[in-house]
Amino acid sequence: MSHHLINNSKIFFMKKITILAIIAVFAIGISSCSKSYPTQLSGQEPSKQTVPIQPDVSVVSNWVNPGSFAVEADRFGIQLIKGSYAFTPATQISYDKNSHMELVYVRIPTNQRIPYQYKRLPSNINVVVNGLSSDMSIDYSLDPEGLKLYYQNTDYAFLSRAVDQTVTDNWVFRYIVFPKATYQATNVDWNDLRAVSVALNFTL
């Protein structure tokens, strides 16, 4: 009888050990799974996306002519003519205006020994129409759409002739975009396009 009780005790004890072992293995499995697959509630910060830095751009355009003209008024109510040269997918440029320089020049025929006169914009340029001489102010802007040119003079009747391109028909323009670091490091007269072409290695 006592021998039978001892055997029953051993069997009960072994079953208890087996159950405890199974529970321990199951607990370890759950713990390892929870460590392998953290949830969004763990408090871990999401990775931050970095904004790509725009690369430096160096562009020297061909000589271009405004494709359209329109009569407008500036913020002071003074009438002016806006000429527009629209970019195409092939000529459109993207750059950081804070780290790049924009230069625009006009080439004007002279009918003299030196065939062309070059002016950096903005500039006042003397023009003659029907024997009348006057200074025309020209300014510009560059934006993703293209190059904008602003012709201004106090005499609107005189300006209206520019709409018909009787004055500016043969005027062409060139825009140059390059890093400000190059501008600051280059010792050249930026008003002199011939000197600029040598410094930046392009032909007139």
- The reply to whether 119 and 19 lie within a common domain is no
Please report whether residue 167 resides in a domain: yes
- The reply to whether 66 and 21 lie within a common domain is no
Please report whether residue 50 resides in a domain: no
Q: How confident is the model at residue 166 (pLDDT cuts 50, 70, 90)?
A: low
Looking at the structure of the chain, the number of domains it has is 2
pLDDT of the residue at 72: 83
Please report whether residue 45 resides in a domain: no
Instruction: In whole angstroms, give the CA distance from residue 174 to residue 179.
Output: 17
- The reply to whether 24 and 107 lie within a common domain is no
Domain that holds residue 26: 2-37
- pLDDT digit string (tens) for 56-98? 889 999 999 998 888 887 787 777 888 999 999 999 999 999 9
- The reply to whether 147 and 192 lie within a common domain is yes
Q: Using the Cα atoms of residue 65, residue 69, residue 71 and residue 76 in order, give the sign of their dihedral.
A: negative
Determine the average pLDDT of the residues in 149-158: 69
- pLDDT digit string (tens) for 4-38? 444 444 444 444 445 545 555 444 554 554 444 44
Residue 183 has pLDDT above 80, yes or no: yes
Please report whether residue 188 resides in a domain: yes
Q: Do the Cβ atoms of 102 and 175 come closer than 8 Å?
A: yes
Please report whether residue 53 resides in a domain: no
Q: Do the Cβ atoms of 161 and 174 come closer than 8 Å?
A: no
Strand partners, 57: none
Q: What's this model's pTM, rounded to 2 decimal places?
A: 0.69
- Which residues have CB under 8 Å from 117's CB, separation 6+? 107, 108, 109, 110
